[in-house]
Amino acid sequence: MVDGGVNDVLIASQVIQPAELLKLADLNRHAQVAVAIDAMAQVLPLARAARSAGVTIPVLIEVDVGLRRAGVAPGPGVAELAQGLAREDGLCFEGLMAWEGQTTRVAEDGARRNAIVEAVGLLTESARLCAVAGLLPRVVSCGGTGTFETTATLDGVTEIQAGGGVFGDLRCREDFGIDLEAAMRLRASVLARPTATRIVCDAGCKSLAVYPKAPRVLGMACAARIAHSASHLTLELEAEASSPAIGAPIEFDIGYADATVFLHREIVGLRGTRIETRFALQDTRPGAQPAPQP
């Protein structure tokens, strides 16, 4: 992201390995790359890496607002951790972050909104306690694709983390009930037609995410069952069909874009039926070759 010109990045997770801390510190020579912490045990090595590199690393405290993953419990403990963080040279307390992801599992719209408001309220109240302690949070960040329509309207929130929604996958549209345009498809090829009711194509788990939302074949209403393996996807049809034939294209609506995008080296951007651009996904591993350009 930094190489691409993005100069304000939040790593919404903890960074703890020494080599990664050195990389994080180096990135802050070129951009503001903030990171999340939820304990002093993460703060101290982070501060050492910053001082060693001669940079200041912006830090957000992650607050657990009900997801029960990482994060410090909301309340006075957040302000206490902020005070400990602020005492460390090389670090800058930027604010707080959370992800109220547990609320996406609430089915009824009114109840979901109430759950989001309650969860985000724990975050903004923690931000208020930090301000009372003399540490005003510049950033209060939360709200993924499944909740942003509500989160973005709540007082005290300064930043929304909804990113995957740009692709409008099936999970966003159906599981979260977000009115987004479907903006990504996977085009595969039919490899085999062993029977008149079976289609085998090259869209296995190595190119198409299955969990937490399965993909859906497009333009084929009689597709009854999809079976996934590493390199193949098998469609069982409800009735015999002669098409698509071997070698023909077959398209899928993406179930979960987050776990599909990184499986590919290139994304083709279309406007209507015309190719407008190609996005090469760069492999940053040592010795990796750049994606071929058209």
C-alpha angle 52-54-58 in degrees, rounded to nearest 5: 100
- Write the class of the CATH domain 8-162: alpha beta
HSE-CB of 264 using CA atoms within 13 angstroms: 21
Query: What is the spatial distance between Cα 142 and Cα 84, in angstroms, rounded to a whole number?
Result: 23
Contact 40, 83 (CB under 8 A): no
pLDDT at 287: 56
Residue 292 has pLDDT above 60, yes or no: no
CATH level 3 topology of 185-280? Lyase, Ornithine Decarboxylase; Chain A, domain 1 (2.40.37)
Q: Mean per-residue pLDDT for 175-199?
A: 94
Query: What is the spatial distance between Cα 139 and Cα 249, in angstroms, rounded to a whole number?
Result: 46
Over residues 260-287, the pLDDT tens digits come to 999 999 999 999 889 999 988 765 555 5
pLDDT at 282: 65
pTM of the model: 0.87
pLDDT at 183: 94
Pair type for strands 159-160 and 185-195: unpaired
pLDDT band at 289; cut points 50, 70, 90:
low
Residue 108 has pLDDT above 90, yes or no: no
Q: How far is CA 36 from the centre of its chain?
A: 15
pLDDT at 164: 86
Q: Considering the chain, what is the average pLDDT of its residues?
A: 92
Phi, psi of 54 (to 5 degrees): 70, 35
Contact 200, 51 (CB under 8 A): no
Write down the domain spans for the chain. 8-162, 185-280
Over residues 194-248, the pLDDT tens digits come to 999 999 999 999 999 999 999 999 988 777 789 999 999 999 999 999 999 999 9
